[in-house]
Chain A
Amino acid sequence: MNVQPFTSESYSGDAGEAAWQDVLRGFGLQSQGARHGSPAHASALSRLSSTGVRLGKFSADAQSLRPLPSRAGLPLLLMPVENSTVLVAGDDRQIVAAGQLILAPRGADWQLQFQRGLRAVVLSVPAEAFRGRKVPPLAGAQPRVFGAEGLPDIVGRTALATAEALDRLSEAEWEAVAQSAADLLLALSGELVAATSDPSSSRAALLQRLYATIERSIGSEDISIADIAKAEGISERYVQKLFEGTGESFSHYLRERRLQRAWHDLANPAEAAVPIAEIAYRCGFADAAHFSRLFRERFGLPPRELRRREADRQTHSAVASGQRGWPQEALVQLRARQAASGPVRRPAPRGDGDDAGTPVPEAPARHYLPVHAQHVHWGYFSRSLEPLIEIASGDIVTVETLTQHASDDPERMIEGDPGAESVFHWTSTDKTVNRRGAGPLDASVFGRGAGEGFGVHICTGPIAVHGAQPGDVLEVHILDIEPRRSRHPAHAGRVFGSSVAAWWGYHYSELLSEPHPRECVTIYEIVTDTAEPYARALHSYRWEPQTDPSGVQHVLYDYPGVLVRPGTVTLQAKVLEGVRIPLRPHFGVIAVAPREAELVDSVPPAYFGGNLDNWRLGKGATVYLPVSVPGALLSVGDPHAAQGDGELSGTAIECSMTGTFRVTLHKKADIGGSVLADLTYPLIETPEDWVLTGFSHPNYLAEFGASSQSEVYAKSSLDLAMRDAFRKMRRFLMTTKALSEDEAVALMSAAVDFGITQVVDGNWGVHAILSKRLFAQHERGESGPEC
């Protein structure tokens, strides 16, 4: 999204001042004389449209703003909010109250003195925004102040309302609003023309009205100079004279505007389905062939070609700004197609036949699930996957998992390791794990690859649990976690991980240093042969476009498992020198299959577990998951060597690991009165604490229905996740500890710690930690699942 948040708080010292001037420069403004002494503060939220319309809301310490030397475009619209300002133009000084509008020509001599702090909304519209439509001549015009009534009031309110909603508008909404704001500003600028002291001003105003009339009648094929003259109540001759004064004939201007309008409509993705002949007709060209010829003469390419190029450009820009999950439109098309297709099937095993057979009936048995191409599903959960093995309640299963980020350093994390090589194997003719993500196999949405990377985690599984039925609870206890060692001769026995500061990271929209945006991969070594194991950074590199074996170029890190080839990136040594990161080995993903959809993106966590990304889920911890499909279908993946609360950059230290789990099934009938009664979310238990997982949308699949896998990314919020965590903890205390609501609320305020789990997985997380110590002498409720 092209919303640009800015605050001087991000910067140290003078860098903040320079960055603030950069923001203002985007609007054709500069700041003068921020008051010194107290720390200078400035913040802004601004957004730029594809046609160059820029709207921003500023909040800063007292200072003066002046226009930069001339830039073509409409006058700037400035609207002081809350505080008044002083407009100085030549010798004139005028106080402008909050809520009034200032229309100030670019590059002219004026300044605005915000003496009690700068708080304003600013709209900047360049000439290009109108694609050839005439902008009134404003040389020599003076800034003008408008009260809040009539047209100025409408313009002001539009600007203000848009500024307030700037970061909540979708791309399409913003483009529409920006264009409307530009049109409104154009209309208002007409008033400025009328007010210039130039003797030709009334003529200019009249001309401006003629232009507006032409805009309204562009669609009628036989619009004539006589019609226009009549509409204004003047003679045809006078109309001709007025146009001659601009150096352009009426008929030439009319044709130019029609062609420009056609260009605009052809380039609009929302109109992609409208036949070209219809667009031509709507712009006043009854003959499509004639239109094509004129269009080619004017723009040097046929209409069809323009449309194709624009479509390419749109796709490219969507890729460059990054988008997670399904776009809405694609989901609509998917539903139509899905009716015809069958369930997901894993490719048939290719020979080595080491799948475990039928489970041994007497528990507890031990099972071992090695990782290779036939044992993983990549980037999605599915209720339709055939289980690899079926285990009994109480069995112990050891599961090898791979990090999807092993491809960031294939030499250290893949080569020589048969399991990893099998999963990551990808040549121009052969890709062992083809589907990566819940997207379409033919990559018809973005063209990134099969599955579109809508979901990225390599999950080992699924494991069916004998007798598990919806309504039961599956207990997954982590007995051990062992890192997976490199098998490459040069690094054998050592352990490596990767952390990517990716485009889905929390930081991505507001990087400080150049170039931005950028993605940065840091390779870590995990040092385990010491009393206190730790991770240290080896080197980092900036992500460079990578071409995968299928020939698709990945400008961004938008598809998992694309092997980064040596020589395509520049390694930077001496990264985080001397910094030792204590390990917190855990599995980011532990999931049972969700019931709502056939294919579910592995990125957003929800009631079924999944990408919980909570580092407390390490050795000795347990997660309880509500079963929603027969057999439960347990999968594990996304191993992490260390992660902070927040997982800010988008990833942890992603490191292949092997986990040993004791899996216990709690039947619905047996859990009444225990902590598992009524469990509808992943509940984590550590030796010391209960950790409840709150999400922006606790069951986004049910909440958003068919559009869930798109909506969940659009509506992330910690405020919602906090609300969810609060409600879950209240329920937990009332249900399992038999507290009244008042007791529960009191205890939460005095003794429950709320923390931020992650702000990068679409469905953001806040967890609530309840210490078991509180209940050492408490007898009212149950303390654990006694089954």
Chain B
Amino acid sequence: MTKHHLPATPDTVHWGYFSKTLAPVLTLKSGDRAVIESITHHANDDYARMIEGDRAAEEIFLWTKDQKTLRRRGAGATDGPFTYGSGEGLGVHLLTGPVAIEGAEPGDIIEVRVIDTWPRPSANPAYAGRFFGSNPAANWGFQYKDLIEGPAPREVVTIYELDMGEASVKALYSYLWTPQTDPDGITHPTIDYPGVRVDHTTIVKKEGILAGISVPARLHFGTMGLAPAEADFVSTIPPNYTGGNMDDWRIAKGARMYYPVAVPGGLFSCGDAHASQGDSELSGTAIEISLTGEFEFILHKKEELDGTILEGLTHPILENDDVWSVYGFSVANYLSELGPDHQSEILKRGSLDSAMRDAFRKLRRFLMTTQKLSEDEAISLMSVAADFAVTQVVDANWGVTGSIRKSLFPAR
């Protein structure tokens, strides 16, 4: 086993999209481990705490009238004139990768074990060694069209501090989003393009919010996944059959994720790290923070899958000490199901009703295929012992997680 290190630098990150056209920044053998740094795309919500003094972050976020280190942000157009900016913010997550696994071919499964995660400390001398995150209640949140206080609609950013000693997160202050003009002169009246630095002279900080409330930490990567085969550039927002923006806080230390390989090498990327998140990710974001993770990668070849829990797998599953979880989506594979306009069509399809349907079907199939249950056994067991939860209602392709405890089954 070899242990690699993949820092987050302008050369090792891609912003807002998955792409099978990207050259791998690291190639591993099955069984190798890698420590991968990630930087949150919300770091510019508080530049002083989350970017300043951190050389890599400064370079990645660098954007002046003359220079923009990472031009493309999203899977949208890269030729102007732009509505929002290059890539059009059609996908927002700053991902590190891709990492190729030697010998991975379509039909295989890549297992990613999350060995450990830890936060990236602030490098600003004023906050040195402390950990900060941001939680915007954004225009794509579940609450946005359903606000009862004024002004409505509105976007509100809450900045949090993570206390690793207490393993909890506390709110520091919040502010109402104000129109921000980027260095290219485009004004962003709402949060519509990632990495725009919030000019703190335009906002009013509200202190003393969520006083005395401490949110238990649930460190995890919101986005981990492989490159899909269907299109060259795919938005990072909707999760899909190769994983991506799953936003399940259970994909944390100790978790093993299994992803179907769609392109040679698999092409794994990760980012969108969270200090904590509730099931549903209601406001559109979690507590977005920069984390570093240690991962182990294991390649399961197609011909070795029968008789294992990976038999017949065409979607991501989670395994941890307690459960197996399948992920139901509003549209199971939106890239192939929704036609040429899939990237915009999926934005209209978010529904828990269809995600529940998908989760039911996937869990039934999982139980019938891997536990050799009859359909009647699978249905009875799902009713009396499987738990369905709302994963997220904000990532266009909404999610319902179906979990079944491993302890139900005798050792086989």
Do A and B bind?
Answer: yes
CB pair A7–B135 under 8 Å, yes or no, is no
* A776 with B384, Cβ < 8 A, contacts A719-B351, A723-B146, A749-B286 known: no
* Residue pair B410, A579 in contact (C-beta under 8 Å): yes
**Contact of A755 with B279 in the complex, beta carbons under 8 Å:** yes
**A778, B211: Cβ atoms closer than 8 Å:** yes
**Residues on the A chain within 8 Å of B353, using CB:** 717-719
- A501 proximity list for chain B (CB < 8 A): 376, 379-380, 383
Interface residues of A in 618-664 (CB under 8 A from B): 642-653
Tell me which residues across on chain B come within 8 A of A649, comparing CB atoms.
379-380, 382-383
A753: chain B residues within 8 A (beta carbon) = 278-280, 389
Are B336's CB and A10's CB within 8 A? Answer: no
Closest approach, in angstroms, between the C-beta of A116 and any C-beta of chain B?
Answer: 8
**Roughly how many angstroms separate A576 CA and B169 CA in the complex, as a whole number?**
43
Point out which of A522, A743, A776, A778 has the most chain B C-beta atoms below 10 A from its C-beta: A743
Which A-chain residue is minimally distant from B353 (CB atoms)?
Answer: A718
Contacts of B147 in A (CB 8 A): 741
Q: How far is the CA of A93 from the CA of B405 in the complex (A)?
A: 55
Q: Are A755 and B390 within 8 A (Cβ)?
A: yes
B-side contacts of A722, CB under 8 Å: 142, 280, 352, 390, 393
Give the contacts of A120-159 with B (CB-CB under 8 A): none
The answer to whether A755 touches B389, judged by C-beta atoms less than 8 angstroms apart, is yes
> Chain A: which residue is nearest B260 at the CB level?
A39
Q: Does B301 contact A (CB under 8 A)?
A: no
Within 8 A of A (CB), among B382-404: 382-390, 393, 400, 402
| A13–B368 alpha-carbon span in the complex (Å) | 12
Residue of B nearest to A776 (CB): B214
- The reply to whether B379 and A520 form a contact with Cβ atoms under 8 Å apart is yes
Task: Name which residue of chain B comes closest to A647, CB basis.
Answer: B383
Binds A, one of B45-53, B57-65, B83-91, B355-363: B355-363
Range of interface residues on A (Cβ < 8 Å): 35 or more
Given known A-B contacts A746-B158, A748-B278, A754-B279, A644 and B341 have beta carbons under 8 A apart: no
Chain A residue with the shortest CB-CB distance to B280: A754
Are B135's CB and A746's CB within 8 A?
yes
Chain B residues with Cβ below 8 Å from A643 are: 383-384
The answer to whether A363 has its CB under 8 Å from any CB of chain B is no
- Binary flags per residue of B263-295, CB closer than 8 Å to A gives 1, else 0: 000000000000011111111111100000000
Do residues A507 and B340 form an inter-chain contact, with CB atoms below 8 A? no
Residues of A within 8 A of B260 (CB): 39
Structural contact, A582 and B213, CB atoms closer than 8 A = no
The reply on B186 being an interface residue by CB < 8 A is: no
Closest to A768 in B: B280
Q: Which residues of A contact B31 (CB under 8 A)?
A: none
**With contact pairs A575-B377, A642-B384 given, residues A9 and B312 touching in the complex (Cβ less than 8 Å):** no
A13 CB contacts on chain B under 8 angstroms: 312
Residues 33 to 63 of chain A near chain B (Cβ within 8 Å):
37-39, 41, 43, 59, 61
- Compute how far the CA of A748 lies from the CA of B284 in the bound complex, rounded to whole angstroms: 11
Is B229's CB within 8 Å of the partner chain A?
A: yes
CB contact between B209 and one of A650, A743, A771, A773 (< 8 Å): that residue: A743
> What CA separation (Å) do A119 and B282 show in the bound complex?
33
Q: Are B279 and A644 in contact (CB under 8 A)?
A: no
Check if B339 sits within 8 Å of A83, measured CB to CB.
yes
Are B384 and A652 in touch, CB under 8 angstroms?
yes
Contact with B along A667-679 (1 / 0, CB 8 A): 0000000000000
Pair B333/A740 contact, Cβ less than 8 Å: no
A552 at the interface (CB under 8 A from B): no
Bound-state CA distance A116–B340 (Å) is 9
Per the CB 8 Å criterion, the residue count for chain B at the interface is 90
Q: How far is the CB of A718 from chain B (nearest CB, A)?
A: 4
Contact, CB under 8 Å: A746 / B156: yes
Interface string of B196-228 (1 = CB under 8 A from A): 000000000000011111111000000000000
Are A749's CB and B216's CB within 8 A? no
**Chain B residues whose C-beta falls within 8 Å of the C-beta of A578 in the assembled complex:** 409-410
- Distance of B42 from chain A, by nearest CB (Å): 13
Q: Are B407 and A582 in contact (CB under 8 A)?
A: yes
Residues of A within 8 Å of B212, CB to CB, are 775, 777-780
Contact digits for B115-135, partner A, Cβ 8 Å, 1 yes 0 no: 000000000000000000001
B contact residues around A723 at 8 Å (CB): 146
> Are A499 and B284 within 8 A (Cβ)?
no
Does A385 interact with chain B (Cβ within 8 Å)? no
Contacts of A780 in B (CB 8 A): 211-212
- Please tell me if the beta carbons of B210 and A726 are within 8 angstroms of each other in the complex: no
**Inter-chain contact A12/B332, CB cutoff 8 Å:** no
Q: Is the CB of A712 closer than 8 A to any CB of chain B? A: no
**Residue B113, interface by CB 8 Å:** no
A522–B389 CB distance below 8 A: no
Contact check, A773 vs B216: say whether CB atoms are below 8 A apart.
yes
Are B375 and A9 in contact, CB atoms less than 8 angstroms apart? no
Q: Does B314 contact A (CB under 8 A)?
A: yes
Give B409's nearest chain A residue, CB to CB: A579
CA A82 to CA B143, docked complex, whole Å: 32
CA distance A742 to B148 in the complex (A): 10
Once the chains bind, are A576 and B106 in contact (CB under 8 Å)? no
Known: A9-B314, A726-B143. A752 touches B384 (CB 8 A): no
Query: Is B384 a contact partner of A581 (Cβ separation < 8 A)?
Result: yes
- Residue pair A648, B280 in contact (C-beta under 8 Å): no
Candidates A576, A719, A759; contact of B373 at CB < 8 Å: A576
Assess whether B303 is interfacial by the CB under 8 Å rule. no
**Bound Cα distance from A581 to B408, whole angstroms:** 6
User: What chain B residues lie within 8 Å of A576 (beta carbons)?
Assistant: 373, 377, 380-381
Q: Contact flags (1/0) for B331-354 with A, using CB distance below 8 Å?
A: 011001111110000000001110
| Neighbouring B residues of A652 by C-beta, 8 Å | 383-384
Nearest chain A residue, comparing its CB with the CB of B143: A745
Mask: chain A, 732-754; 1 = CB below 8 Å from B; 0 = not = 00000001111101111111111
Q: Are B311 and A12 in contact (CB under 8 A)?
A: yes
Asked if A644 meets B340 with Cβ closer than 8 Å, knowing A719-B351, A746-B156, the reply is no
Q: Is B365 in contact with chain A by the CB < 8 A criterion?
A: yes
Q: Does B369 contact A (CB under 8 A)?
A: yes
Q: Which residue of B lies closest to A575 (CB)?
A: B377
Asked if residues A648 and B382 are in contact (CB atoms below 8 Å), the reply is: yes
* Residues of chain B within 8 A of A751, CB atoms compared: 215-216, 276, 278
- Enumerate A4-23 residues with CB–CB distance to B below 8 Å: 5, 7, 9-13
User: In the complex, A81 Cα to B341 Cα: how many Å?
Assistant: 12
B93 at the interface (CB under 8 A from A): no
Interface check A486, CB cutoff 8 A: no
A749 engages B380 (CB within 8 Å): no
Cβ of B7 within 8 Å of any chain A Cβ, yes or no, is: no
Is B364 positioned at the interface, with any CB of A under 8 Å from its CB?
yes
Instruction: Name the residue on A nearest B329 (C-beta).
Output: A9
CB distance from B260 to the nearest CB of A (A): 8
Tell me the nearest residue of chain B to A748, going by C-beta. B282
Q: Do A642 and B385 have beta carbons less than 8 Å apart?
A: yes
At the interface, yes or no: A117 with Cβ under 8 Å from chain B? yes
In the complex, what residues of A have CB within 8 A of residue B351's CB?
718-719
What 1/0 mask marks residues of chain A from 761 to 787 whose CB sits below 8 Å from any chain B CB?
A: 000001000010111111110000000
In the A-B complex, the 10 residue pairs with the smallest Cβ-Cβ separation, listed nearest first, are A578-B410, A649-B383, A749-B283, A82-B339, A778-B212, A753-B279, A718-B352, A645-B387, A646-B388, A754-B280
Report which A residues bind B (CB closer than 8 A).
Answer: 5, 7, 9-13, 37-39, 41, 43, 59, 61, 81-83, 116-117, 119, 499, 501, 505-507, 510-513, 520, 522, 524, 535, 537, 540, 575-582, 642-653, 717-719, 721-723, 726-727, 730, 739-743, 745-756, 759, 766, 771, 773-780
Some 8 contacts from A to B, beta carbons below 8 A apart, are: A10-B364, A507-B379, A580-B408, A582-B385, A644-B386, A648-B379, A649-B382, A743-B171
Q: A580-B407, A646-B360 are in contact. List 4 more A-B contacts (CB 8 A).
A: A12-B311, A41-B333, A506-B356, A756-B400
Q: Footprint of A on B, CB under 8 Å?
A: 106, 135, 137, 141-143, 146-149, 156, 158, 160, 169, 171, 174, 209-216, 229, 241, 260, 262, 276-287, 311-312, 314-315, 332-333, 336-341, 351-353, 356-358, 360-362, 364-365, 368-369, 373-377, 379-390, 393, 400, 402, 405, 407-410
